Amino acid sequence: MKNFSPYPITTILLIANIVSYIVQLLMPAYTNLFILNSSLLLMQPWRLVTHMFLHGSPTHLLFNMLGLFFFGYLVENKIGQVRFTLLYFISGIIAGFMGSFFFERALGASGALMGIIGFVILTFPKLQVLFFGIIPMPMWVAGIIFFLYDFFGAIASVGNVGHEAHIAGLLVGLVYAYYYRVQEKKETKRVRVNKEEIEVMDASEYMKQFR
């Protein structure tokens, strides 16, 4: 089953994130209830999911939603709603879990978005993108830059950015894309074998009339 909703999951996620941020602005206590808090993670594991729908500022929300808008629909159309939803949440959850070892508190859809970007890097490596909206380059080059930025950022502990979570999300996306490619090849081979078997059976039935 590729689809389970009449609406694109990317659209639903965009709306959910925006609405959630509006609630954050209206109800400050809302953020503390659902933010990823490493000291509470064992008792409240659902925060691994809820933190993905919280953001620290309008800019934080804007950049994540722009990334989701540009890459989410592309990936969803490629692999279907079920696989896309799994990619989004698995990436975000694992990224949040890894980030909890480095940060006391964390929030944002960046880990899930990096999973989607990782998938795009391996599946559409030659896709032309505008880095920072200015510099054109293929997706695989942009992927290397993303990784190096977070790798050296994690080493230097630069800024209040979850570099480790970003890397985890990116790696999940790459692994997910590789797994999808293997499964796609198996499915293509199975369909081809079935088609050949049907053609052989049809030929046999046709030859019977001359016996």
5: pLDDT strictly greater than 90: no
- Domain 9-208 maps to which CATH number in 3.40.50.720, 3.40.50.10860, 1.20.1540.10, 3.90.1150.10? 1.20.1540.10
Over the stretch 89-147, which tens digit does the pLDDT of each residue have? 999 999 999 999 888 899 999 999 999 999 999 999 999 988 777 889 999 999 999 89
- For 50-64, 131-145, 195-209, which range has the lowest pLDDT when averaged over its residues? 195-209
Query: φ, ψ for residue 129 (rounded to 5)?
Result: -130, 160
**Tokens 């959910």 map to which residue?**
16
Residues 119, 75: contact at Cβ < 8 Å?
A: yes
- Residue 101, Cα to own-chain centre: how many angstroms? 21
